[in-house]
């Protein structure tokens, strides 16, 4: 079986002729690019291995391509303002978008806007999910990095703004980049800032594990898959390699370029804007405002390939090529819906033109009257109390309880069947 192909996806701020270029990482062969518009910094993301999202530079919408149809924009997602950053959950179920100081969370299956989070004080600069999609991180110009529990956000009432799980406030200047390792809620996350530091954190406890001070502001940060090294891109074009397993262990460290010259990648002539490491940890991809993308051998620090662009590079990362990207006859498993501009739950769920079934945790609490869970709990308590009674002479009461239970089971079966039939009609309904 052939090894999965790794592909580099790159965007620049030059113009609309080719929004996103793609090339095979190891051979360097160019793949067809994605045309239409140009994507802003931290504004490119793969969605579920079937779509590519690109936040239009300086505009209030997101371009959407089907991965196999590179020459044609499929859809535009209209946003409330210019998009500063975006990301998609690894499971393909949610999209996060930064607009000014607010975070917008959309559900992909039905296009509902589930939450608007306003806990930052200045514009968002970067967003990222954990690998299991259970948490997401946000960084902004207010020098704060916030850790959010996705499930807490989803369960919150529309009128309430949930609290972040952690607030990281150890940076003194704007956050420029975020990177999250593997391990879900137990992962480690790295933050970069203009305050000339890169910091490593533990997502579960929120503790600061490492802080590295450099000679220049840090614009990009990434980790290799084994998390032995952290790579930091500086404003002067240098890329620094920080050993995370170095001994002795120090929480506060200063990177001295003169003494650690063998751990610096030199070649870019302007600030490094994006970094990405290959799956096997042998190659490093970097993009810069000097209008070049470079591929480095990590062991030797040698530049293996240089790709010239016509404008500052805004996004560059390595992905395992999804099947649809290489198959021109492939199609998404389901078309994307129209994304709502209004917060879900603040308007009627049955407004004209809306379709689909939405299930929300905790929604039964908004209903008046006794829920089926409460009825079942009450019935169970009655059954339990009945067991403790002397059943001699109380057979009639027991019969009544049994009949009530049978009636409850019958009602629940009918509800379940109605839900199943409704879902089947929606799923099998032919597209207009």
- Indicate if the pLDDT at residue 374 is higher than 90: no
Three-state DSSP class for residue 250: coil
Q: Which of 35, 33, 40, 41 lies closest to 9, judged by CA?
A: 33
Per-residue DSSP letter, 309: -
Mean pLDDT of 141-153: 96
Q: Which residue has the tokens 């991180």?
A: 137
Cβ distance 164 to 119 under 8 Å?
Answer: yes
The token pair that represents 192 in the structure block: 């970069």
CA gap 171, 211 in Å, rounded: 10
Q: What is the pLDDT of residues 260-278, one digit of tens each?
A: 778 999 999 999 999 999 9
Mean pLDDT of 402-428: 84
- Is residue 367 very low, low, confident or very high in pLDDT (cuts 50, 70, 90)? very low
- Indicate if the pLDDT at residue 301 is higher than 70: yes
Residue 384: which residues within 8 A CB-CB, separation 6 or more? none
- Is residue 363 very low, low, confident or very high in pLDDT (cuts 50, 70, 90)? very low
pTM of structure: 0.78
Q: How many CA atoms lie within 13 A of 257 on its CB side?
A: 12
Q: How many CA atoms lie within 13 A of 8 on its CB side?
A: 30
Q: Which of 23, 19, 29, 26 lies closest to 8, judged by CA?
A: 23
CA gap 210, 3 in Å, rounded: 35
Burial class (CB in 10 A: 0-12, 13-18, 19+), 326: middle
- Is residue 368 very low, low, confident or very high in pLDDT (cuts 50, 70, 90)? very low
């Amino acid at each position: 079986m052939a090894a999965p192909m790794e592909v580099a996806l790159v965007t620049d701020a030059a113009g609309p002729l080719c929004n996103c270029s793609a090339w095979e990482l190891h051979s360097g062969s160019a793949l067809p690019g994605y045309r239409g518009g140009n994507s802003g910094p931290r504004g490119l993301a793969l969605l579920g291995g079937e779509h590519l999202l690109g936040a239009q530079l300086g505009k209030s919408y997101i371009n959407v391509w089907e991965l196999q149809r590179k020459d044609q924009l499929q859809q535009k997602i209209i946003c409330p303002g210019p998009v500063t950053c975006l990301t998609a959950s690894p499971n393909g179920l949610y999209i996060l978008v930064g607009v000014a100081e607010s975070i917008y969370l959309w559900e992909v299956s039905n296009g509902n806007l589930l939450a608007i989070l306003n806990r930052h004080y200045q514009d968002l600069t970067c967003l990222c999910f954990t690998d299991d999609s259970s948490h997401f991180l946000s960084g902004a110009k207010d020098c704060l990095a916030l850790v959010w529990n996705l499930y807490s956000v989803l369960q919150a009432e529309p009128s309430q703004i949930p609290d972040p799980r952690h607030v990281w406030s150890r940076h003194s200047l704007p956050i420029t980049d975020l990177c999250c390792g593997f391990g879900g809620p137990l992962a480690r996350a790295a933050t970069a800032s203009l305050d000339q530091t890169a910091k490593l954190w533990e997502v579960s406890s929120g503790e600061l594990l490492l802080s590295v001070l450099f000679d220049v502001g840090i614009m990009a940060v990434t980790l290799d898959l084994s998390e032995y090294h952290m790579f930091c891109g500086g404003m002067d074009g240098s890329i620094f390699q920080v050993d995370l397993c170095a001994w002795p262990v120090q929480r506060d460290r200063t990177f001295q370029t003169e003494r650690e010259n063998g751990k610096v990648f030199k070649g870019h002539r302007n600030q490094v804007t994006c970094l990405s490491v290959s799956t096997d940890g042998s190659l490093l991809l970097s993009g810069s405002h000097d209008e070049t993308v470079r591929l480095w051998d990590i062991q030797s620090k040698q530049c293996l390939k240089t790709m010239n662009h016509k404008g500052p590079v805004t996004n560059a990362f390595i992905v395992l090529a999804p099947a649809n990207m290489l198959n021109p006859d492939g199609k998404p498993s389901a078309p994307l819906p129209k994304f709502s501009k209004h917060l879900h739950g603040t308007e009627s769920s049955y407004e004209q033109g809306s379709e689909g079934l939405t299930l929300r945790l905790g929604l039964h609490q908004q209903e008046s009257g006794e829920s089926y869970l409460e009825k079942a709990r009450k019935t169970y308590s009655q059954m339990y109390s009945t067991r403790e009674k002397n059943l001699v002479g109380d057979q009639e009461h027991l019969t009544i309880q049994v009949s009530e239970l049978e009636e409850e089971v019958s009602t629940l079966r009918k509800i379940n069947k109605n839900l199943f039939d409704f879902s089947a009609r929606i799923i099998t309904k032919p597209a207009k």
